[in-house]
Amino acid sequence: MITTQKLTGDLADDGWKGASDDCNMENLKNSESCDPSSFLRHFRKSSATPVMLLRHIAQAMATEMQEGLDHPGERKLKMLPTYLECLPTGNERGLFYAIDLGGTNFRVLRVQLDGKEGRILKQESIQVPIPQEVMTGSSKDLFGFLAKTIVQFVSREADLGFECVALNQKRDIGFTFSFPVNQTKVNGGSINAWTKGFSISDGVNDTVGTLAQCRYWNDDAMVGVILGTGSNACYVERAAAISCWSSPPEADDLTVVNIEWGNFCSELLPRTFADEGLDADSLNPGQQEFEKMIGGMYLGEILRRVLLKMAEDTGLFGSEIPERLTKPFSLLTPHMSTMHGDDTSSLEVVGSVIEEAIGVKYTTLATRKVVYDVCDIIAERGARLSAAGIVGILTKINRCGDLMLSCLTTPNDTEVKKTVIAIDGSLYEKYPKFRNYMEDAMKEMLGEDYANNVTTTLSKDGSGVGAALLAAAISTELRLGDVGVTK
Ligand code: ADP
Ligand code: MG
């Protein structure tokens, strides 16, 4: 295993880090002025993610994953067991429900499944806002409200042409619960804390639902990734690897582990002054380092911090600092992706976003080009780090080819298996350059040939349909008296 110490040295020797002329990032911290292009050059250098660095980050992720499994709750990666003993196979039949309790809305869905021939015959959902008095009331009020909504929805199943289930017959329902839960079994756990007046999602079930939904269609789905407001991933693991599972199924059986990868941190991550400032001013300093370089909640804010520094140190927007640029979160990730998607030769779109979001009416083409380049650097770094995280998981489950430094499981397994990565979230879905950078970095890391065995695919609405499919899978397995993730 290569140590961090040595690695940093090696990489510095490659010349990707450690700028030494008049306008390096250290000097910039001390407000030494320079021109925009030197600033940009140094910012690009300190954000760089050459493929060797990405491979080392992937290896560090795989190592941390093993650490988290071996020492439950004591390492940076929580590696939360889901206690799932099966995933959807596509063979499920019948009527199944899911409820999705997120930040502000409550959703109830039903799907009618007809095995591999008919697949999802019919699906329907309703979404209701959670009334303010319920959000701040007792848990009895909340669950009473949820139950009432479910009963109303279920009572209309026959009217809408769904398979009719006798009213006294039990229905199977998947529950997506976006609060921190200490799960103790597949359908049980205790809530850690009622966070948020209802707003922080820990994404536990998003990522598992994303994987489950993809697995329903494709047996090769092994990894679920969320690239949205925050970032997280889960993967299919051997049940025997879950040391805190008191009565796991057979040793060879598989389950799903929620990595909570947002909290990954490493000396290897190419952090800049903007990341340090963002972290220090955040509600959770020192935590979620990886997520803060990738998540949709943060990319726009990193951009704002870089542009503000450039305005201060290089006069990017003229002699005055635009007032709005000093306000945290005045630039959002959709602003960034809109500017980054500008393909006009005069960068008109960049100009109008600068005007609308920052309030600077006139900009030169050179300024707009600098802003475009900063978007590009931040998005490229976030996308390539996401790719490194995914390759880290592939390393852990030995689906990374022989190009990585080492593999932690079944090193003698040389069979090339197809692997599908299920991804959900706006960064992947609605930010084409982010997605392309991520997919290109995976190819670079895995090598073009091996990368042909790895597919990334959008798996939308895992927290809804994915949960119903999980309910279907679990109920089917229970009926058959069988356990184990079917492969
Ligand atoms: P959630 O994470 O809440 O499930 P999403 O997957 O839609 O929701 O992700 C929301 C995040 O994606 C927000 O941080 C938002 O800023 C960002 N986002 C939304 N649309 C875009 C877009 N077109 N380009 C880039 N980022 C976007
Ligand atoms: Mg989501």
Question: Does the C-beta of 386 come closer than 6 Å to ligand 1?
Answer: no
pLDDT of residue 24: 52
Judging by beta carbons within 10 Å of its beta carbon (0-12, 13-18, 19+), is residue 72 exposed, middle or buried? middle
Integer Cα distance of 134 and 138 in angstroms: 7
Look-up of token digits 């699906």: 123
CB–CB of 434/469 below 8 Å?
Answer: no
Q: Tell me the best of 199, 231, 232, 426 to mutate to test the pocket of ligand 1, counting ligand atoms within 8 Å of each CB and taking the most.
A: 426
Separation of alpha carbons 314 and 4, rounded Å: 34
Which atom of ligand 1 is least distant from the CA of 103?
A: 3
**What is the side-by-side strand order in the sheet with 105-114?**
120-129, 105-114, 93-101, 172-177
Instruction: State how far the Cα of 470 lies from the Cα of 487, in Å rounded to an integer.
Output: 15
Distance between Cα 5 and ligand 1 center (Å): 36
Question: In this structure, what token pair is assigned to residue 153?
Answer: 């929805």
SS3 string, the chain, reads CCCHHHHHHHHHHCCCCCCCCCCCHHHHHCCCCCCHHHHHHHHHHHCCCCHHHHHHHHHHHHHHHHHHHHCCCCCCCCCEECCCCCCCCCCCEEEEEEEEECCCEEEEEEEEEEHHHHCEEEEEEEEEECCHHHHCCCHHHHHHHHHHHHHHHHHCCCCCCCCCCCCCCCCEEEEEECCCEEEEECCEEEECCCCHHHCCCCCHHHHHHHHHHHHHHCCCEEEEEEECCCEEEEEEEEHHHCCCCCCCCCCCCEEEEECCHHHCCCCCCCCCHHHHHHHHCCCCCCCCCCHHHHCHHHHHHHHHHHHHHHHHHHCCCCCCCCHHHHCCCCCCHHHHHHHHCCCCCCCHHHHHHHHHHHCCCCCCHHHHHHHHHHHHHHHHHHHHHHHHHHHHHHHHCCCCCCCCCCCCCCCCCCCCCCEEEEEECHHHHHCHHHHHHHHHHHHHHHCHHHHCCEEEEECCCHHHHHHHHHHHHHHHHHHHCCCCCCC
* Alpha-carbon distances, residue 185 vs 65, 110, 248, 426, 465 (angstroms): 21, 24, 10, 31, 21
26-44, pLDDT tens digit by residue? Answer: 545 444 568 999 999 999 9
Tokens of 114: 């007809």
Question: How many angstroms separate the alpha carbon of residue 425 from the centre of ligand 2?
Answer: 5
How confident is the model at residue 132, as a pLDDT?
Answer: 85
CA 467 / ligand 1 centre spacing (Å): 21
Which residues in the chain land under pLDDT 70? 1-33, 102-104, 164-168, 178-182, 188-204, 251, 401-415, 481-487
Distance (Å, whole) CA 415 – CA 58? 21
pLDDT score recorded for residue 417:
84
The set of residues, in sequence order, having a beta carbon less than 8 Å from that of 102 and lying 6+ positions away, is 176, 178, 201, 463
Query: Would the CA dihedral through 467, 472, 475, 481 be positive or negative?
Result: negative
pLDDT by residue (tens digit) across 410-424?
445 556 789 999 999
Look at residue 206 in the predicted model and tell me its pLDDT: 82
pLDDT of residue 398: 87
pLDDT of the residue at 182 = 63
Sign of CA dihedral 251, 252, 258, 264: positive
Q: Is the CB of 341 under 6 A from ligand 1?
A: no
- Please indicate whether residue 296, judged by its CB atom, sits closer than 6 Å to ligand 1: yes
Q: How far is the CA of 291 from the centre of ligand 1 (A)?
A: 14
Determine whether the shortest distance from the Cβ of 209 to ligand 1 is under 6 A: no
| Cα–Cα distance, 446 to 179 (Å, whole number) | 35
What is the pLDDT at residue 406?
Answer: 38
**Closest atom, ligand 1, to C-alpha of 434:** 25
Q: What is the pLDDT of residue 483?
A: 42
> Between vectors from CA 436 to CA 456 and to CA 261, what angle results, nearest 5°?
60
Assigned token pair, 279 = 């972290």
For 216-231, write each residue's pLDDT tens digit: 999 999 999 999 989 9
Confirm if 254 and 68 have CB atoms less than 8 A apart.
no
**Nearest alpha-carbon partner for 45 in 4, 12, 77, 78:** 12
Determine phi and psi for 358, rounding to 5 degrees: -105, -15
Which residues have CB atoms below 5 A from the ion given as ligand 2?
A: 228
**pTM of this structure:** 0.88
Identify the pLDDT of residue 155: 87
CA 76 to ligand 1 center in whole angstroms: 25
Closest-lying ligand 1 atom to the alpha carbon of residue 424: 6
Which residue puts its alpha carbon closest to atom 17 of ligand 1?
A: 296
Contact 100, 84 (CB under 8 A): no
Tell the residue nearest (CA) to atom 24 of ligand 1: 334
Angle at 98 between CA 92 and CA 99, to 5 degrees: 170
Distance in angstroms between the alpha carbons of the first and the last residue of the chain = 32
